[in-house]
Amino acid sequence: MSKQINVALIGNPNTGKTSVFNALTGLNQKVGNYPGITVEKKEGICKLPRGVKAHIIDLPGTYSLNASSLDENVVIELLLNKNDKDFPDVAVVVTDVENLKRNLLLFTQIKDLEIPTILAINMSDRMKYKGISLDIDYLEKQLETKIALISTRKSKGIDNLKELITNYKELSKKPCMNASLIDESYFNNLRKAFPNQLLYKLWLVITQDVNFGKTDRKTFDKVEDFKTKSKTDLKRLQQKETIKRYQFINDALKKGQTIDLNSAKDLRIKLDRVLTHKVWGYLIFGIILLTIFQAIYDWSSIPMDFIDSSFAALSEWVKNTLPEGAFTNLLAEGIISGLGGIVIFIPQIAFLFLFIAILEESGYMSRVVFLMDRIMRRFGLSGKSVVPLISGTACAIPAIMATRNIESWKERLITILVTPFTTCSARLPVYLIIISLVIPEGRILGLSYQALTLMLLYLIGFGAAVGSAWILNKILKIKSKTFFVVEMPNYKLPMFKNVALTVLEKTKSFVFGAGKIILAISIVLWFLASYGPGDNFNNAESIITQQYATENLSEDELQQKIASHKLEHSFIGIAGHAIEPAIRPLGYDWKIGIAIVSSFAAREVFVGTLATIYSVGSDEEETIKNRMAGEVNPILGGPLFNFASGISLLLFYAFAMQCMSTLAIVKRETNSWKWPMYQLVIMSAFAYIVALIAFQVLK
């Protein structure tokens, strides 16, 4: 058994599937998308007994093989297509010991596909607490499978699961029940018409919008018997199938599972009463948010200061150590300064993802979704829209992908269009550096002004999303009604391993994703800032020397004047001055203008751009923050980054649509350039107007 085997992890949402995936793969995992669609694909490598390697794929959570969303379709299409490179040699259906009855519906369907299937019953450490006992031998016999009783929290049963996966060829492929009894004549005719095809696969193709090799609905339409079945008839048969399966599951669990309700201890109901209360629920959520933003500031200040000074020192060391020339300047002023402008925010971004992961792992995030649904309905959004809006605080791209769970196209479209208003982690570097420059460090009731400002920006973004959704709801005349259903998972202590892997994976993808863009832009910007046309740039030294001949300048001061003159007459300086009239009413100079324009590639590039621009020609061992603080407004005098211009910038970035990747995803999800172009123009115009008003009022 030297070849690598494919293992598919399948299960309902909230069964601990991700924990099982992490327990099997550890750090040997990667996240991407399925080919051609924007549904997240998690895969990893697991070393099994006797030198066997397993390729583990964590499929999107699904309640059954009767798909109602695009990500559920991914599960079915993989299980139907034997030619797919990821087609599983063995399926591991992960179930939750407390919801075994519901979870087994999916298990019985997968068994009908005649794929070797293992039943992994997770959270077994809660059995005693919940008064649950299982007759594993009896259940294995009834379900025609092998069962792994596991607890990822206690790291129990994982070795047994690995052993069962290794011996997957010994598993029975026999279905555990006969689903065709719901309409024997219909299924017999189906079997006769397609004798070489698996019966249950044919049934899935007939009833759903999925792919199955060369067989499609047109093939069935040619057979007279299948023309008589309307969509309503097929839906009725699906319902009969579900009832039939639950009858079988109930019979199996009557003897296989015992629940002593008297010994079950449950604080969940009491906690839910408080955490989803119409007053206390919102108050507690507000306190949690305040605590998170305060911690982001307080805990990350020391590592941020260390990174900031380290990059400044590294840049100076490169200048002093390597031979003078264009390459040394590029390295010190372009690459190191540009990357320093993003690496400095790793601590704060890591803390943000840490708190989000803890809220999700503990089960609290589902309560937040339920709580916010009461507000969302008033603005024409589905309760399911809350998930993209909340996940948008990490990144708008996966948040927009998450809208695929919303059945109503109009509600989904509105959610896609307003999600970029929520403050994503890419805005965080911009917010943090501007806040640190223009908001004082005082405190009120133990909370710093800076943390309160950051929280206010998050609330403004969320408010803009909800407000614009209300307007779109009126414009698009949405009349469709949908029902909001969210599962409340059990409360549990977050697993350190899961939280750590989430923080590591999210932070790494943010840094490397942004790093590629920043590195490329930093090199281009350094070139544009280091070279220029005409005599004003080429003869800068003689022009400045002559201009300040009567003033007694030191050598360092003279070199700074020359560098500043060169920068102003470089390619980037000329471009900046060209757009300056449009941005001057907002309180910005040409340098900020260049940073804003370049940040349309990605918002976080703003800081890297300013780091590069302010580093060109600078010989002092000085941090970017100090250079920005020392910048003078050429028109009004005084600091360029003052309260008025700072608030103007913060509001501009709160509302502007500045992310090419998000625009590309919106185009892909809506299958049209119309909607992303509307987003770009309307959001940017709105941002400009709000920033203009803010500066003119505050100056």
What is d(CA 321, CA 431) in angstroms, rounded to the nearest whole number? 34
How does strand 53-58 pair with strand 40-47?
Answer: antiparallel
Residue 131 main-chain phi, psi, to 5 deg = 70, 35
Q: Using alpha carbons, list the distances in angstroms from residue 387 to 371, 405, 522.
A: 12, 10, 35
Q: Which residues pair with 115 in a beta bridge?
A: none
How does strand 53-58 pair with strand 90-96?
Answer: unpaired
Q: Which residue has the tokens 């629920």?
A: 281
What is d(CA 617, CA 614) in angstroms, rounded to the nearest whole number? 8
Report the pLDDT value the prediction gives residue 60, as an integer from 0 to 100. 85
Residues of the chain with pLDDT under 50: 1, 33-38, 264, 617, 619-621
What is d(CA 600, CA 677) in angstroms, rounded to the nearest whole number? 13
**Which sign, positive or negative, has the C-alpha torsion 122, 128, 132, 134?**
positive
Domains detected in the chain: 1-264 (3.40.50.300), 280-475 (no CATH), 513-698 (no CATH)
- pLDDT, tens digit (0-9, with 9 covering 90-100), for 255-297: 998 887 655 456 677 888 888 888 898 899 888 877 877 777 6
For residue 202, give the 3-state DSSP assignment.
helix
Q: Which residues pair with 53 in a beta bridge?
A: 47
Q: Which residues pair with 133 in a beta bridge?
A: 258
What is d(CA 666, CA 409) in angstroms, rounded to the nearest whole number? 14
Give yes or no for a contact between 450 and 330, defined as CB atoms under 8 angstroms apart: no
What is d(CA 481, CA 469) in angstroms, rounded to the nearest whole number? 16
Report the pLDDT value the prediction gives residue 264, as an integer from 0 to 100. 47
Write b or e for each residue in 20-48: b if 16 or more Cβ atoms lie within 10 A of its Cβ, otherwise e: bbbbbbeeebeeeebeeebbebbbbbbeb
Report the pLDDT value the prediction gives residue 266, as an integer from 0 to 100. 63
Report the pLDDT value the prediction gives residue 248, as an integer from 0 to 100. 93
What is d(CA 256, CA 133) in angstroms, rounded to the nearest whole number? 8
Give yes or no for a contact between 250 and 108, defined as CB atoms under 8 angstroms apart: no
For residue 93, give the 3-state DSSP assignment.
strand
The whole-model pTM stands at 0.61
Report the pLDDT value the prediction gives residue 295, as an integer from 0 to 100. 78
